[in-house]
Chains A and B, each alone.
Chain A
Amino acid sequence: TQLLEQSPQFLSIQEGENLTVYCNSSSVFSSLQWYRQEPGEGPVLLVTVVTGGEVKKLKRLTFQFGDARKDSSLHITAAQPGDTGLYLCAGPLISSGSARQLTFGSGTQLTVLP
C-alpha cells in the first residue's frame, strides 16, 4: 500500500502550458518534501512544506500543503523543456516516536515538449 499517491503518473505537455500535479494521502504528515529527478541522476530537493495551508513559490513553481496536512500540490506556470523530469513527493514516517525515514510517492513523469 502506497502511503503517498501521486497523480497523474505521466504528463506530456507543450512548452508554455500550465500544469498541476498532486500528492495525496490518508495519513497526516508533519511535513512534505518535493524532489525532482532527471534521467541518470539522483533526486534533488525542490522544497519542504511544513505548515497546513502553506504556499511556497520557487520561480514558476508553486507548492501548496493542504490545510489538513494530508495532501500537497505542485503547480508549474508556463512550463519549459528544462522542467522535464520525475517529480517525487516524500514525507516522514513516524515510528517508535521519531521520524527517521521518508516515504516516497511513485512520482509524476513530466515531459515538456518544445
Chain B
Amino acid sequence: NAGVTQTPKFRILKIGQSMTLQCTQDMNHNYMYWYRQDPGMGLKLIYYSVGAGITDKGEVPNGYNVSRSTTEDFPLRLELAAPSQTSVYFCASSYLADRYPQYFGPGTRLTVL
C-alpha cells in the first residue's frame, strides 16, 4: 500500500494564480482531511470529508475549495492565491473519526510570491 500520496511536493505560485493540490489514499478510508501547517504552529484543518460526495469546512476554509467524487481522491483547490496561503499542506485519511488514527501524506510546500 502506498498510503496517502500528495502531488506536487513543491510549488511556487504568483499572486492571483490558481492550482489544485492532489491527494489520493489507497486504504479505503472514509474520512479525508486537508491541513495547513505554518512555522511554529500546529496543524489547522481546512476542509474534511466523511465520504464521497460529502465535504465540510474546518477551521480555516477561506480561499480554498474541495471536492470528493471518489473514496480515494480529495483534491484541494486554491483560487486567486495570496501570500497568506504560503504554507505546508498535508492531506490525511482515517477509517473513522474520534480516536481512530489519521494517516498523513508527505506534504506539499507552497510558496506564493
Q: Which residues of A approach B to under 8 Å, CB–CB?
A: 2, 4, 6, 9, 30-31, 33, 40-45, 48, 50, 88, 90, 92, 98-107
Contact = CB atoms under 8 A, between A and B. Distances in A.
Among B4, B42, B43, B102, the most chain A Cβ lie within 10 Å of the Cβ of: B42
A50 B101 CA distance: 13
B102 A45 contact: yes
Nearest to A47: B101
A88 B104 CA distance: 13
A41 B92 CA distance: 12
Contacts of B92: 42
Interface in B50-105: 50, 56, 58, 90, 92, 97-99, 101-105
Contacts of B44: 104
B8 interface: no
Interface in B9-41: 31, 33, 35, 40-41
B99 A48 contact: yes
Contacts of A45: 101-103
Interface of B: 4, 31, 33, 35, 40-45, 48, 50, 56, 58, 90, 92, 97-99, 101-107
A4 B42 CA distance: 10
User: 10 nearest interchain CB pairs?
Assistant: A42-B104, A104-B42, A31-B99, A99-B98, A45-B101, A104-B43, A106-B42, A100-B97, A92-B98, A42-B90
A44 B104 contact: yes
Contact of B101 (A30, A33, A88, A107): A33
B48 A40 contact: no
Given A45-B102, A90-B43, A100-B31, 7 more contacts: A40-B106, A45-B103, A48-B101, A98-B97, A99-B97, A99-B98, A101-B33
